Amino acid sequence: MNDTETYREGYNRLQDNLRKYRSLAVAFSGGTDSTFLLLTACEVLGDKVTAFTVKTPYIPDWEINEAISFCDGHHIRHKIIELPLPEIIRGNPEDRCYRCKRQLFEILLKETAALGIEKLVDGTNADDMKDYRPGFKALQELSVGSPLLESGLTKSAVRALSKSMGLPTWDKPAYACLLTRLPYNRTIAEADLAKIEKAEVFLMKAGYRSVRVRTEDNSARIEMDHELIIPFITSGFYKETAGYLKSIGFRTISLDLEGYRTGSFNSTIEKTKV
């Protein structure tokens, strides 16, 4: 059996799983996984689907705008829930994701119940279990559904199926929240989050899609795909980048020669922790 047939079987399982519900609320970030899940849910349940998008200081505005644009373009019912930075994660603790998910999804569950929607689901996929994912424990505790995971769909499967459906997010890089750019156990300042967002938007507009700007003690450490590092240097764009990042308040600028990787601050903690 080739990959396409395997993915199609997973897609059929996903549709069967979604048919179990009379109505669904989908936690929608606008990323590859939640976009695929949302559109598939709409194909199965029609107008019985509502997208919930949380707007907080650590979610970039461009992500919120893309989520709004997608729902508008596909005529999907969409609710934006705006929240402040939760004080329980102000110190960026190692179990930040657990605390954050727990609080945010408790709020989403209340919204789900208030609207008379049967089930709240999120876009966790089968590959997400391979990384440090303390937030998933919160979803399990709250009985939030993860249809992609339950259907055995990996990230590769989601991307392949998204491409076959013509979704523009099929090759969209993963974009974790801005808190992942900061070291654990340091007090979070909204001003730092704003600087990180500006820096990453600057690089993304220049064509550096898979990029992170990590910051510690007012320094900026840029991570990007390996194949882009040499052109970044030889083109001289590093000079313009350094100038811009200093203009928005970073003191020192560096390029991480290990390249872009998700959750690079996770290496400082044990995966066995909550």
- Is residue 274 within 8 Å of residue 98, measured between CB atoms? yes
Find the Cα–Cα–Cα–Cα dihedral 158, 160, 161, 165, rounded to 10°. Answer: 130
Q: Which tens digit of pLDDT belongs to each residue from 13-29? A: 999 999 999 999 999 99
pLDDT at 209 over 90: no
Q: Which tens digit of pLDDT belongs to each residue from 137-151? A: 899 999 999 999 999
At the topology level, CATH places domain 3-164 in Rossmann fold (3.40.50)
- Enumerate the H helices of the chain as residue ranges: 3-18, 32-45, 61-73, 96-114, 134-141, 147-150, 155-164, 190-205, 226-234, 237-247
Q: Which tens digit of pLDDT belongs to each residue from 233-266? A: 999 999 999 999 999 999 999 999 999 876 555 5
Give strand pairing partners of 49.
24
Angle made by CA atoms 197, 29, 189, in degrees to the nearest 5: 35
Could you tell me the pLDDT band of residue 132, with boundaries at 50, 70 and 90? Answer: low
- Write down the pTM of the prediction: 0.89
Residue 85: φ, ψ to 5° = -65, 120
The CA distance from 196 to 250, in Å, is: 9
Question: What average pLDDT does the structure give for the chain?
Answer: 92
Could you tell me the pLDDT band of residue 3, with boundaries at 50, 70 and 90? Answer: low
Could you tell me the pLDDT band of residue 135, with boundaries at 50, 70 and 90? Answer: confident
Q: Which tens digit of pLDDT belongs to each residue from 81-107? A: 999 999 999 999 999 999 999 999 999
Collapsing DSSP to helix, strand or coil, 9 comes out as: helix
